[in-house]
Copies of this chain bind each other. A is one copy, B any other.
Amino acid sequence: MAEMDTRTPRERYRTQVRAEIKEHAWEQIATTGATALSLNAIAKHMGMSGPALYRYYASRDELITELIRDAYRSLADTLHSASLAGADLTVLAHAVRGWALAHPQRYLLIYGTPVPGYHAPDAITLISSEIMAILLDACAALPSDSPATPFDAHLADHRDWADGHPAPPAVLHRALSFWTRLHGVLSLELAGHFTGMGFDPALLFAAELDDLSAHRGDGGPGD
């Protein structure tokens, strides 16, 4: 049975309206993009007048910040699930890609062009490092006998972002490459820079992924 909700009806109503606002916001973002998000339109769509929204979100920026946080949370949860069900890099990569293609505006909200004056609050940094931890675990699972590069040496001394994760520099390096390479393909694809070029972005993504898992692996027959 549900335990007694200690919150007052007012509070429950409030959180429900906040959630409904975000729902409409996502709907609008999915069609018109994040920059064109309009509080007025959301309000009218919900049957109330513009300024009423300001009872729930102090500003447009605050709403967007919460949307970004939710997007991070959604991605982190997706990765967490994938990581539980067999956490190798390939599975993880396809989870990321699937999520990004299902919610392009969410991905772009996180990793796209930043809002000029925007600064990520700590809550987001936390989720971000949670994602990084999953990635580092997956990278650590792969063997790595590649020679230490100059960048590896640099990483040995600059591993704040690993947040205490005991991975060796080569693994840190691999995680960063994983992140930046997949983002390179994904962001260009989502931005539409491949449309009209003729090839299938999914295959390029897979090729980059193959290269990541193979060429510094067990020294075996890479592919």
Residue pair A158, B200 in contact (C-beta under 8 Å)? yes
Q: When chains A and B are docked, how far (Å) is the Cα of A150 from the Cα of B208?
A: 12
Q: When chains A and B are docked, how far (Å) is the Cα of A156 from the Cα of B193?
A: 20
Q: In chain A between 25 and 49, which residues have their CB closer than 8 angstroms to a CB of chain B?
A: 32-36
Q: When chains A and B are docked, how far (Å) is the Cα of A35 from the Cα of B28?
A: 18
- Partner of A181 from the list B184, B198, B221 (CB cut-off 8 Å) is B184
**How many chain copies?**
2
Q: How many A residues face the partner with a CB closer than 8 A?
A: 57
Determine if A192 is an interface residue (Cβ-Cβ < 8 Å): yes
21 A-B pairs with C-beta separation under 8 A: A33-B113, A35-B116, A36-B116, A108-B113, A111-B188, A111-B191, A112-B113, A114-B192, A149-B207, A150-B207, A151-B203, A151-B204, A151-B207, A160-B197, A173-B207, A177-B207, A177-B211, A180-B181, A183-B187, A215-B215, A222-B223
Q: B-contacting residues of A (Cβ < 8 Å)?
A: 32-36, 108, 111-116, 125, 147, 149-151, 154-155, 158-161, 173, 176-177, 179-185, 187-188, 191-193, 196-200, 203-204, 206-208, 210-211, 214-216, 219, 221-223
CB-CB nearest 3 A-B residue pairs: A184-B184, A33-B116, A112-B113
